[in-house]
């Protein structure tokens, strides 16, 4: 029996959110801030926290970032519902669901982690506490990051202008599972569903123009 589009999207979102939160909570409760677990020379679990967006980027104040995320999640949710009603292909639905799940995963940190956890430090792991007795007000919690892939970790040769002799790391950003969902979703959308995305954007522009002309 073929699963309905609404149920299909709900399952994807639920599974991704559970994976994201299980990883983050496990790290938060068992690792000190800055602690590393070396899986391989090119892959580490390194616990950091950030106030910013995906991949640790920052944009304005923490409150602005949290509110920006909420607006983005509402917009993507509206788009998902529209796609379900239009009965678009399951592949495109999965991609948009991945992006939405990633955005919600990081919002969950901002909304609730400051309320339910004590502050992580370089000397002690966090612990669960009574709701409201945590380290930060609602919307001000920090996002937990842990995946670190220093694929190239070296000292640049002295003969390289400007940067010679300096430490160089590629890939340096530390990110989480939610960030990966957003990035994979966006890249997949641009590579394989560009026509659908362009059609939606063109339809929006056409609708806006028509509305303006009818005023």
Share of the chain above pLDDT 90, in %: 64
Strands 143-148 and 174-175: antiparallel
Q: Return d(Cα 19, Cα 28) in angstroms, integer.
A: 14
135: nearest Cα among 62, 53, 72, 71: 62
pLDDT of residue 214: 34
* Spatial contact of 6 and 84, defined as CB atoms under 8 Å apart: yes
Helical ranges in the chain per DSSP H? 5-30, 62-86, 90-108, 114-116, 177-192, 194-213
Supply the range of the domain harboring residue 124.
Answer: 5-34+46-146+174-213
Strand-pair partners of 169: 153
pLDDT tens digit sequence for 166-211: 888 877 899 999 999 999 999 999 999 988 888 887 765 444 433 3
- Residue 109 annotated to the active site: no
Residue 164 within any structural domain of the chain = no
Phi then psi for residue 192, to 5 deg, are: -115, -15
Told to judge if 179 belongs to the known catalytic residues of this protein, a careful annotator would answer yes
pTM recorded for the entire structure: 0.83
Answer yes or no: are the C-beta atoms of 100 and 106 closer than 8 Å: no
Looking at 130, 145, 158, 212, which residue is catalytic? 145
153 within domain boundaries: no
Question: What's the rounded Cα separation, in Å, for the pair 42 and 54?
Answer: 21
At residue 66, the pLDDT reads 77
Tell me what the mean pLDDT of segment 2-8 comes to: 90
Is residue 24 scored above 80 in pLDDT? yes
Any domain includes 190: yes
Model confidence at 84, pLDDT cuts 50, 70, 90, reads very high
> pLDDT tens-digit profile of 40-53?
989 999 999 987 55
pLDDT reported for residue 207: 42
The one catalytic residue among 179, 198, 200, 212: 179
Domain count, the chain: 1
């Amino acid at each position: 029996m073929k699963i309905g589009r609404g149920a299909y999207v709900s399952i994807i979102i639920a599974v991704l959110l559970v994976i994201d939160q299980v990883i983050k909570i496990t790290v938060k409760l068992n690792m000190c801030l800055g602690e590393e677990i070396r899986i391989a020379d090119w892959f580490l679990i390194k616990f950091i926290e950030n106030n910013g967006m995906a991949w640790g980027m920052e944009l304005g104040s923490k409150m602005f970032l949290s509110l920006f995320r909420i607006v983005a999640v509402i917009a993507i949710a509206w788009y998902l519902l529209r796609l379900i009603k239009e009965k678009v292909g399951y592949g495109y639905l999965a991609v948009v669901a991945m992006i939405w799940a990633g955005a919600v995963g990081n919002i969950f940190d901002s909304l609730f982690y400051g309320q339910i956890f004590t502050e992580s430090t370089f000397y002690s792991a966090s612990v669960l506490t009574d709701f409201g007795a945590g380290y930060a007000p609602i919307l001000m919690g920090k996002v937990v990051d842990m995946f670190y892939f220093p694929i190239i970790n070296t000292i640049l040769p002295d003969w390289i202008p400007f940067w010679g002799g300096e430490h160089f790391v590629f890939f340096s950003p530390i990110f989480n599972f939610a960030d990966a969902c957003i990035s994979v979703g966006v890249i997949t959308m641009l590579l394989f569903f560009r026509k659908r995305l362009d059609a939606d954007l063109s339809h929006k522009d056409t609708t806006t123009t028509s509305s303006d002309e009818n005023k």
